[in-house]
């Protein structure tokens, strides 16, 4: 695991956007695994800028998002499909039919999980998987305890996750379940790229990257991945103790 610490949030976001841009430029048909959440909003904003100013070309990309709330149709303003269309897909030259998220409103959610997992395999697997980390230690919505070999499935969200995300739903009720790629599905990606920023993530980041690999901190499974890069700002790196801290700016 490579840990890159940047002196500001903007520099951390810039580095993550550059790593994604490099993958898109190097590979004519890249398969990107994408994440949502507040941390990623500025990553997508930067990629949109790169598309507009530097003609970064997304036309060959296929994408698979990590997760979607159970029960929400893609048209719902709180769905992750809506987030992705608004912040990224509608702003760049990606073909919408090549963008995939689990269907949160599928009539049979277990069958939907199997379909989504199969679709990723049929695409040849994920080349670069973008990840955030939740206060509960989740990646995607793999809440503790999540096994390192878990696959795409329906999960119940942890109380911390509900606390973290409920304000985004305003007066509407946040779903208590979601479909998520499994930890094993994430670990099967060629490369993983985790971005965490802000002091509120410092404790869980240190448990994930310096603590033992445990189902109690699902993100700790990334220590098992052969090509995982973690990009942090100073604040998110604030609780790291022993491990060498690589600084890149």
Nearer to ligand F6R, 132 or 175 (CB): 132
Token pair listed for 122: 């049929």
Please tell me whether residue 110 adopts helix, strand or coil conformation.
Answer: helix
Torsion of CA 67, 70, 76, 77, to 10 degrees: -50
- Find the shortest distance in angstroms from Cβ 115 to ligand F6R: 19
Q: Where are the beta strands (DSSP E) in 139-244?
A: 153-156, 177-180, 191-196, 228-233
Applying CB under 6 A, which of residues 140, 175, 182, 218 lies at the interface with ligand F6R? 140
Token pair listed for 226: 């052969």
Any residues with CB less than 8 A from the CB of 24 and at least 6 apart, and which? 30, 32, 56, 57, 58, 60, 61
Interaction between residue 163 and ligand F6R (CB under 6 A): no
Interaction between residue 132 and ligand F6R (CB under 6 A): yes
Nearer to ligand F6R, 140 or 182 (CB): 140
CA–CA gap between residue 23 and residue 236 (Å, rounded): 25
Interaction between residue 193 and ligand F6R (CB under 6 A): no
Interaction between residue 104 and ligand F6R (CB under 6 A): no
Token pair listed for 116: 């989504």
Nearer to ligand F6R, 162 or 240 (CB): 162
Q: Looking at 2-10, 50-58, 131-139, 146-154, which segment touches ligand F6R (CB under 6 A)?
A: 131-139
Interaction between residue 100 and ligand F6R (CB under 6 A): no
Applying CB under 6 A, which of residues 7, 22, 25, 38 lies at the interface with ligand F6R? 38
Interaction between residue 33 and ligand F6R (CB under 6 A): no
Nearer to ligand F6R, 55 or 68 (CB): 68
Per-residue interface string for the shown chain with ligand F6R, residues 204-233, x marking contact by CB under 6 A: ------------------------------
Nearer to ligand F6R, 60 or 177 (CB): 177
For β-strands 99-100 and 2-6, DSSP reports them as unpaired
Characterize 129-161 residue by residue with b for buried, 16 or more Cβ atoms within 10 angstroms of its Cβ, and e for exposed. bbbbbbebbbbbbbbbebebebbbbbbebbebb
Which residues make up the interface to ligand F6R (CB under 6 A)? 35-39, 66-67, 132-134, 138-140
């Amino acid at each position: 695991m490579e840990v890159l610490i940047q002196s500001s949030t903007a520099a951390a976001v810039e580095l993550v956007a550059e790593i994604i841009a490099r993958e898109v430029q190097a590979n004519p048909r890249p398969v990107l695994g994408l994440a949502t959440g507040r941390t990623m909003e500025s990553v997508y904003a930067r990629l949109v800028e790169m598309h507009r100013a530097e003609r970064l070309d997304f036309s060959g990309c296929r994408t698979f998002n990590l997760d979607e709330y159970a029960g929400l149709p893609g048209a719902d303003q709180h769905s992750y499909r809506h987030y992705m269309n608004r912040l990224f897909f509608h702003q760049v030259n990606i073909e919408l039919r090549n963008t995939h998220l689990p269907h949160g409103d599928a009539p049979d959610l277990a069958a939907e999980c199997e379909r989504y997992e199969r679709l990723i395999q049929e695409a040849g697997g994920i080349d670069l998987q973008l990840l955030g980390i939740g206060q509960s230690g989740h990646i995607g919505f793999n809440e503790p305890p999540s096994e390192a070999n878990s696959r795409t499935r329906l999960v119940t969200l942890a109380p911390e996750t509900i606390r973290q995300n409920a304000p985004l739903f305003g007066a509407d009720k946040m779903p208590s379940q979601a479909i998520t790629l499994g930890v094993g599905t994430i670990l099967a990606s060629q490369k993983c790229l985790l971005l965490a920023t802000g002091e509120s993530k410092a404790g869980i980041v240190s448990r994930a990257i310096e603590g033992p690999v445990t189902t109690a901190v699902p993100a700790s499974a990334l220590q098992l991945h052969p090509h995982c890069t973690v990009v942090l700002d100073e604040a998110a790196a604030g609780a790291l103790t022993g491990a060498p801290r690589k600084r890149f700016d």
